């Protein structure tokens, strides 16, 4: 699925709220180090610092990029992160963990654990599955993420 999951609904919605966005899928056959490298190459080439958003296994990549790149914020959607520890984010940006207690891939316990690594609780969307970016209620999570970013004074 990769970046297409974000490009379909969320990216146009983000633009509609007045923000620019980029999507990328790191090399599929690369290990974590290679995928982090791919993302670092892109974010380092952008003219300003960005908010990093990752879904599933991509959330793990984002967590490791946050340990090397001074992002404005990080958003981990339905994170497939089994690591007991993650790198400390450079510059201490806010990090949001979001998911659904009804996700069949990432358990509520896993959401709580990953959010706890960042000193917070997860933002939950009951009734949604693993892919918060798709389905009839896809706008609710991205609006909540954008509202959170605005509240944290990361954007606007």
What are 53-112's pLDDT values in tens digits? 999 999 999 999 999 999 999 999 999 999 999 999 999 999 999 999 999 999 999 999
Return the H-helix or E-strand segment holding 12: helix 10-16
Return the H-helix or E-strand segment holding 124: strand 123-124
Q: How far is CA 23 from the centre of its chain?
A: 11
Whether 35 is covered by a domain: the verdict is yes
| pLDDT band at 7; cut points 50, 70, 90 | confident
- Collapsing DSSP states into helix, strand and coil, what is residue 89? coil
- Give the model's pLDDT for residue 1: 55
CA distance 58 to 139: 20
Half-sphere exposure of 105 (CA within 13 A, CB side): 14
CA distance 93 to 147: 16
Whether 13 is covered by a domain: the verdict is yes
Whether 22 is covered by a domain: the verdict is yes
Whether 156 is covered by a domain: the verdict is no
Residues in contact with 132: Cβ distance below 8 Å, sequence separation at least 6, in sequence order = 55, 77, 78, 98, 99, 100, 125, 138, 141
Q: How many domains does the chain have?
A: 1
Burial class (CB in 10 A: 0-12, 13-18, 19+), 104: exposed
Per the CB < 8 A criterion, the answer to whether 5 and 133 are in contact is: yes
Express each pLDDT in 122-147 by its tens digit. Answer: 999 999 989 988 888 999 999 999 99
Whether 115 is covered by a domain: the verdict is yes
Whether 14 is covered by a domain: the verdict is yes
Domain interval for residue 14: 4-151
Express each pLDDT in 25-48 by its tens digit. Answer: 878 788 999 999 999 999 999 999
User: CATH no. for residue 69?
Assistant: 3.40.50.1820
CA distance 130 to 99: 7
Whether 31 is covered by a domain: the verdict is yes
What percent of the chain is predicted at pLDDT more than 90? Answer: 76
């Amino acid at each position: 699925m990769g970046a297409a999951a974000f490009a379909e609904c969320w990216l146009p919605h983000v633009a509609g709220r007045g923000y620019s966005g980029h999507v990328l899928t790191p090399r599929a056959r690369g290990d974590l180090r290679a995928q982090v490298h791919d993302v670092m190459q892109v974010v380092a080439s952008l003219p300003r610092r960005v908010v990093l958003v990752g879904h599933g296994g991509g959330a793990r990549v984002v967590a490791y990029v946050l340990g090397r790149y001074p992002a404005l914020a990080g958003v981990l959607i339905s994170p497939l992160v089994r690591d007991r520890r993650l790198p400390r984010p450079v510059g201490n940006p806010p990090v949001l963990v979001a998911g659904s207690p009804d996700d069949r891939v990432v358990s509520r316990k896993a959401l709580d654990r990953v959010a706890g690594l960042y000193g917070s609780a997860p933002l939950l969307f009951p009734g949604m599955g693993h892919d918060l970016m798709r389905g009839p209620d896809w706008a609710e999570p991205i609006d909540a993420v954008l509202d959170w970013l605005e509240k944290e004074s990361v954007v606007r």
